[in-house]
Amino acid sequence: MQLQNAISQSISQALEALFGLTVDASAISLQPTRKEFAGSFTFVTFPYTKQAGKGPEQIGEALGAYLKEHAAEVKNYNVVKGFLNLEIEEEVWVRLFRELMTNPSHGQATDSGKKVMVEYSSPNTNKPLHLGHLRNNFLGYSVSEIMKANGHDVMKANLVNDRGIHICKSMLAYQKMGNGETPESSGIKGDHLAGKYYVLFDKAYKEQIDELVAQGMDKEEAKKKAPLILEAQTMLQKWEQGDEEVVSLWKTMNGWVYEGFDATYRNIGVDFDKFYYESETYTLGKERVEEGLQKGVFFKKPDGSVWVDLTDEGLDEKLLLRSDGTSVYITQDMGTAELKHNDFPYDQSIYVVADEQNYHFQVLKAVLKKLGKPYAEGIYHLSYGMVDLPSGKMKSREGTVVDADELVQEMIDTARQQTEELGKIEGFTPEEATKLYHTLAMGALKYFLLKVDPKKRMLFNPQESIDFRGNTGPFVQYTHARISAILRKAGEMGIAVDAASFSDFNNLHEAEQEVITLLVNYPEVVQEAGKLYAPSVIANYAYELAKAYNRFYQEISIFNETDEQARNFRIALSAMVARFVRESMSLLGIEVPERM
RNA sequence: GGCCCUGUAGUUCAAUGGAUAGAAUAGGAGUUUCCUAAACUCUAGAUUCAGGUUCGAUUCCUGACAGGGCCA
C-alpha cells in the first residue's frame, strides 16, 4: 500500500542520510506492530547493525528521530530492543479511509491480461458427492474468485469421470436388480440412485468372492474370477464398441446423475464455465505419445510399451502406453491438457485435486515439459489433504462416508434450531427464514473447510464442527447483520454515508484505527491469497476484520455520540466494514445476511 | 525399499527468519437502563526430539521419532 511505500522511502533516505547506507526502498520490509506496543509499523534494525557500525537501539533512536522530523506521516516513535515502532498521524488514516470509500475498485485488481483455468470438482458418475468433494468444490470455487479479483480471466472447468469400470458396476447392478426404477418412481435423487446400485454391486461381488474362497480359491484370484466382475468388464468392452443397449443405459443413468449433481452444485453455490467428459477425452493423448517418440524424448521397450525417463527430474521411469496400445491415466491427462489449452489458451492451469495425486501431477508437468509444451510451466496442482472423521478415514465401502447432501441438510437444520432458540426470527417471512438458514449453514460449512491450509489433512467432527460461535462463518455473518441494522437506522434518520459528512473529523479511537488499517490492507490480502492459492488467507482476514469491528462496536457508541462528525464517521466506517466483509466472504463463496 | 506431505495449548486451527508463539473452543471470572450477548473483557494452558546455519529458528538444512500418502 502507498503508506508503507512512503515510509519505506523515508527510511531509505534516512539510512542514507544518517549512516551513508544505500538501501533500496523496495528492500525495506515493514511489519505490522504487535498489539502490546504503540505504533502501526515496525522496522527491524538488526540486519543493518554491521553496515552501520552502530547498535540496534542506537540505529532505532536515530532513525526514529529523523523520521519524526522529516516524514510527514510519522507522528511518533518508540524503540524496543532493535525494533523501531512508528506511530502514524491520525489524519493520514482518515485520509486513507476517505480514499478507499470513494474507490469502488479497492481490492479488485486491474485486468492482468492473464488467462487462468481452474479445474475442480471432477466427480465420478457412480456415486453422490461426499465431504471430501465439498472441500474440493469450495476450494476450486474460491480460488477462481480470488484469481478474478487479482485481475485474471478465469475459466472454471469440471472434468467429469463418466466412463470406466466403476460406472459399469452400477449399470450392471441396475440391469440385474433395478426393475426399471427411476429417480421419479423411487423419489431418490439421481446421483444417490446410481450410488445405491454401486453399493449393491459391491455387496453381491463380495459375496461371490467369499463363496469362491470358501471353495478353496485364493482371494486375489477370486477377485479376478468372480462372475460379476467379469460381466462388468464385458460391459465395459461393449461400451467401448458402442453397443447400443449398453450405451443407452449408460446415457440414462448418467443423465440421472447429472441432474443430481446439478441440484447439489446449485445448493452449495458452485458453478462451471465448461464441462469436459472423460468419455470424450479418454482416447486423447496417444498423439502426444507419438510426438514424444518422434522427438526422441520417450522410448519403447521390447514389448512395445512406451515409457519416459524422468530420473533426471528426481522421478522414476513412467509408463505412458501399455504394450497392447491402451492408454493409462497420464496419457489421457496429457491429451486433456492440450485440449484445454486449445480451448482456452491459459497462462496458468490449476488442478484442484487431492494430495494422493501429488506424484501424478509432478509427472504430468515433467512429461509435458519434456515434450516442449510451453503451457507445461503454467500447470499448478492445488493439492489438498483428506478430510478425516473422528472415526478415521472416510471409506465408502465401510459406509463411513459423510454424504454432501445429507451434511448440508443437517447444517441447515442446526441453523434453524439455533436461530429459533435465540429467538432471532421475529419479523421474518417463512421464505426469508428458509433463505437465512441456508445462508448460515453454508457459511458455517464453507468457512470451516476453507479456513484451513489446503495442504493439511483436517478433522471434521460433526458435533464440534457445526459451530456458530467463535472463529466461524456465522461470526463474520453476524457482524454484517449488526452493521446492516446500524445502516438501516442511519437511513431512517436521513444520514447519508459519504466522506463529506465528516470532513473535519480527525480524532480516532484505537479500535477505529485498527479497523481502518485492516480496510486499507485489503488489496494486499487479496494479492497474497492469489499468490499462495490460499482461501485461508481471505478467511483469516474476514475474521480479523469482523473481530476488530466487534471490539469497536462494543466500546464505542454510534448513535449516542453527540459530535455529529464523529457519528457520521462511525456510520461510514461501519458501512465500509460491511462492504469488505461482504467482498471477502464472497471470495469464499459465502453470502452475508442483512439480519440474523 | 524409494519418494512426497504433515507434526504447535486438552481439542481444532494461525504465525513473508523477528519482540513475551496468536485465535477459537473446552475450563475459571466478569459485562445488558445503550446501535442485535451468535457479542465483548479478564484468566489459565503449547512449538515431537537431537544437532546445524543465523545477531535472531515454529519457520531454513541434516538426522531420528510419529501420522498420512504415492510408486512398484
CA/C1' separation A485–B29 (Å): 32
Q: How many CA atoms lie within 13 A of A33 on its CB side?
A: 23
Average pLDDT of A569-594? 97
Query: A257 with A192: CB under 8 angstroms?
Result: no
Chain A window 43-72, residues with Cβ within 7 A of nucleic strand B: 44, 46-47
Rounded-to-10 torsion of CA A495, A501, A504, A506: 70
Chain A window 159-218, residues with Cβ within 7 A of nucleic strand B: none
Query: Is the per-residue pLDDT at A325 higher than 90?
Result: no
Q: pLDDT tens-digit profile of A439-475?
A: 999 999 999 999 999 999 998 887 767 789 999 999 9
| Cα–Cα separations (whole angstroms), residue A293 to A308, A328, A371 | 9, 16, 10
In this complex, which residue's CA is closest to the C1' atom of nucleotide B11? Answer: A464
Q: pLDDT tens-digit profile of A172-202?
A: 999 999 999 999 999 999 999 999 999 999 9
pLDDT at res. A233: 95
pLDDT at res. A313: 80
Which nucleotide has its C1' atom closest to residue A81's CA?
Answer: B19
Query: Is the per-residue pLDDT at A514 higher than 80?
Result: yes
β-strand partners of A319: A307
- Alpha-carbon gap, residue A548 to A551, rounded angstroms: 5
Per-residue pLDDT band for A311 (boundaries 50, 70, 90) equals confident
CA/C1' separation A35–B21 (Å): 14
pLDDT at res. A396: 62
Q: Which three cell numbers stand for residue A394?
A: 472416510
The pairing of strands A153-160 and A274-277 is: parallel
Strand B–CB A421 distance below 7 A: no
pLDDT at res. A335: 94
The pairing of strands A41-44 and A30-32 is: antiparallel
pLDDT at res. A314: 78
Average pLDDT of A397-406? 80
Widest pairwise Cα distance in chain A: 93
pLDDT at res. A26: 87
Q: How many CA atoms lie within 13 A of A220 on its CB side?
A: 0
Long-range contacts of A542-546 (CB under 8 A, 24+ apart): A542/A476, A542/A581, A542/A584, A542/A585, A542/A588, A543/A451, A543/A471, A543/A475, A543/A476, A544/A518, A545/A515, A545/A518, A545/A519, A545/A577, A545/A580, A545/A581, A545/A584, A546/A475, A546/A476, A546/A478, A546/A479, A546/A480, A546/A577, A546/A581
Query: Is the per-residue pLDDT at A529 higher than 80?
Result: yes
Q: pLDDT tens-digit profile of A14-68?
A: 999 999 998 888 888 899 999 888 899 999 999 999 888 889 999 999 999 999 9
In this complex, which residue's CA is closest to the C1' atom of nucleotide B68? Answer: A457
Query: What's the burial of A153, exposed, middle or buried (CB within 10 Å: 0-12/13-18/19+)?
Result: middle
Q: How close are the terminal C-alpha atoms of chain A, in Å?
A: 35
- pTM listed for this prediction: 0.95
Query: A89 with A71: CB under 8 angstroms?
Result: no
Chain A window 348-367, residues with Cβ within 7 A of nucleic strand B: 355-360
Average pLDDT of A280-299? 92
β-strand partners of A153: A115
Strand B–CB A31 distance below 7 A: yes
Strand B–CB A272 distance below 7 A: no
Query: Is the per-residue pLDDT at A264 higher than 70?
Result: yes
Q: Which nucleotides of B are covered by protein (CB under 7 A)?
A: 3-7, 11-16, 18-20, 23-25, 34-41, 55-56, 67-72
pLDDT at res. A150: 97
Query: Is the per-residue pLDDT at A277 higher than 90?
Result: yes
What string of DSSP letters covers A26-90?
A: GG--EEEPPTTSS-SEEEE-GGGHHHHTS-HHHHHHHHHHHHHHH-TTEEEEEEETTEEEEEE-H
% of chain A exceeding 90 in pLDDT: 83
Beta strands in A434-591 (DSSP E): 458-459
Query: Is the per-residue pLDDT at A399 higher than 80?
Result: no
In this complex, which residue's CA is closest to the C1' atom of nucleotide B6? Answer: A456
pLDDT at res. A312: 82
β-strand partners of A154: A116
Query: A486 with A594: CB under 8 angstroms?
Result: no
Angle at A86 between CA A83 and CA A91, to 5 degrees: 170
Rounded-to-10 torsion of CA A42, A46, A49, A50: -140
What string of DSSP letters covers A333-376?
A: HHHHHHHHHHHS--SEEEEEEEGGGHHHHHHHHHHHHHTT-GGG
Query: Is the per-residue pLDDT at A495 higher than 80?
Result: yes
Chain A window 449-508, residues with Cβ within 7 A of nucleic strand B: 451-453, 455-459, 461, 464, 467-472, 474-475, 478, 481-482, 484-486, 489
- Alpha-carbon gap, residue A504 to A512, rounded angstroms: 16
- Alpha-carbon gap, residue A560 to A567, rounded angstroms: 8
| Average pLDDT of chain A, as a whole number | 93
More confident residue, A259 or A317: A259
- Find the helix or strand (DSSP H, E) in which A118 lies: strand A115-119
What sign results for the dihedral spanned by CA atoms A544, A550, A555, A558?
A: positive
pLDDT at res. A425: 86
Q: pLDDT tens-digit profile of A114-150?
A: 999 999 999 999 999 999 999 999 999 999 999 999 9
Query: Is the per-residue pLDDT at A341 higher than 80?
Result: yes
